Amino acid sequence: MTVLVKPKPIEGHKVRAFQMLIDGKWVDSAEGRTIERVAPGHGVVVSRYQAGTKADAEKAIAAARRAFDEGSWPRMTASQRSLVLLRAADIIAERADELAYLDAIESGKPISQAKGELGGAADIWRYAAALARDLHGESYNTLGDGTLGVVLREAIGVVSIITPWNFPFLIVSQKLPFALAAGCTTVVKPSELTSASTLLLGEILEAAGVPAGVVNIITGTGPEVGAPMTTHPDVDMVSFTGSTGVGRLTMANAAQTLKKVSLELGGKNPQIVFPDANLDEFIDAAVFGAYFNAGECCNAGSRLILHRDIADEVTRRIAELSAKVKVGDPLDPETQVGAIITPQHLEKIAGYVSAASRDGAAVAHGGTALDLGMGQFMAPTILSSVRPDMAVAREEVFGPVLSVLTFETTEEAIRIANAIDYGLSAGVWSRGFDTCLTIGRRVRAGTIWMNTFMDGAPELPFGGYRQSGLGRELGRHSVEDYTETKTLNMHMGPRTGWWMPR
């Protein structure tokens, strides 16, 4: 049985209305239409945003273009930009409870988790502030007495930043501060399902001293607002996080004007477990990796690849621990798994489980939607006897569904891990250093965790192989992603050439 935390009516409920930030002004959309957000955990409207249009996107892009070409931000010293980012980090920390509440109520994530994400986000802004002062080029004085080469790093220009609904504030914090640190100007589009905390970030950046037009925040749907952000000739780069399908469309749109593209897309992440692993620690990590953020996470550990000798025991123990997971009210501090983002997405998750059952998988735990009186919820689910060719083992379910597969040899485990289109992250559990290193070297994924899962730090790059995306976020080179290199080839003294005497 799943432990249920039934949602309570929201105290002092009031719909919060937001405008868009364009060129330093808070404005309504060109057509005056709005979008209402229904809280997935409570079933009531909690936010009202502007439904942006192509005209709004073009105004925001024009403002960012002017701010880059004519404004002060790209021309500030690195230390000046760094101080602004540090002030922003301080204000984010001060307003963390407010931001976490908005993310929890709009996305359905547990409030305790949202508060943890806000702490991580503030840390990322501080890290970006430090990197702003470390951005530098190169010089070459070894090219001969008459030549000096200098390689500059310059801000790439106007960056379109498009973020998803599952980590509204954390993911914009993995992109925006690094673009600002480099000296870029930006147009930001949060998901139309979870725009509130990003709009509040606009207020924070104004208070921190970001000049008008440097950060523009527009709300609306992908076809209306996102598309022009990826095709407009005045945009120099697109940074997108979302589904692989929309990532392909983003890349195709950007190719029309050969923009630089950074994509963080889907994942179907394996945890490979050997008989000598510390099973107590692994089982805790398996439950966390599968159900964190209700499985609505590109990094979710949604595939367990277990050695056959331990598969039955491990599956039983994971099911026992899953039964203790608290599911329900996102605003209850005790909740561990919150609501599913939309009714349509809940139906999609349930469809994967039903299809897997028809194909021969066994439901070891959960497997059904939960009726808690309001909102939409899914029971933590474990599917055993899963074959590698099943859709649930190959496709991103994006819900609290764990698929259990088995292996006998290391080669077989690696083959199963690599036999999908994704390559975002993976885990390996063994006390053997050679075993961990072999898996780490041969599994094709951007991050390999060894005897842990879903740990991270701003210093560590994040991104994927294959259809999990292009490029990396975070890490010491993250600011460089928002730059172009320029070579200055300087000649000294008399020049010799075709028509010059030698």
The partner residues of 216 in beta bridges, in order of sequence, read 187
* Whole-number Å distance between alpha carbons of 117 and 111: 10
- DSSP one-letter code for 129: H
Annotated active-site residue 224? The verdict is no
Task: With beta carbons less than 8 A apart as the criterion, state whether 116 and 122 touch.
Answer: no
Identify the residue whose tokens are 């006897």.
385
> Which one of 264, 296, 396, 473 is the catalytic residue?
264
Number of H helices, E strands in the chain: 15, 27
The helix/strand/coil state of 111 is: helix
Question: Of these residues, 117, 184, 192, 298, which one is catalytic?
Answer: 298
User: β-strands 303-307, 270-273: how paired?
Assistant: parallel
Q: Which residues contact 95 (CB under 8 A, 6 or more apart)?
A: 200, 204
Alpha carbons 288 and 336: distance in angstroms, whole number = 9
Q: Name the helix (H) or strand (E) containing 309.
A: none
Question: Using alpha carbons only, what angle is made at residue 228 by residues 227 and 231, rounded to the nearest 5 degrees?
Answer: 90
Closest CA to 298 of 411, 170, 187, 124: 170
Percent helix, percent strand, percent coil in the chain, to nearest 5:
40, 25, 40
Residue 414: which of 441, 447, 377, 383 has the closest Cα? 441
- Verify whether residue 264 is a known catalytic residue: yes
Q: Residue written as tokens 């030549």?
A: 147
Write out the two tokens for 270. Answer: 């394996």
The two tokens of residue 30 are 């060109």
Q: What is the DSSP secondary structure assignment for residue 85, as one 8-state letter?
A: H
Of 186, 190, 187, 188, nearest in space to 167 by CA: 190
Two tokens at 427?
């885990």
Closest Cα to residue 474, out of 121, 94, 82?
121
Angle value at C-alpha 243, between 88 and 108, nearest 5 degrees: 60
Sheet with 16-17, edge to edge strand ranges? 16-17, 45-50, 34-38
Q: How far apart are CA 57 and CA 231, in angstroms?
A: 11
CA distances from 221 to 162, 163, 191, 383 (A): 11, 12, 7, 34
Active site residues: 264, 298
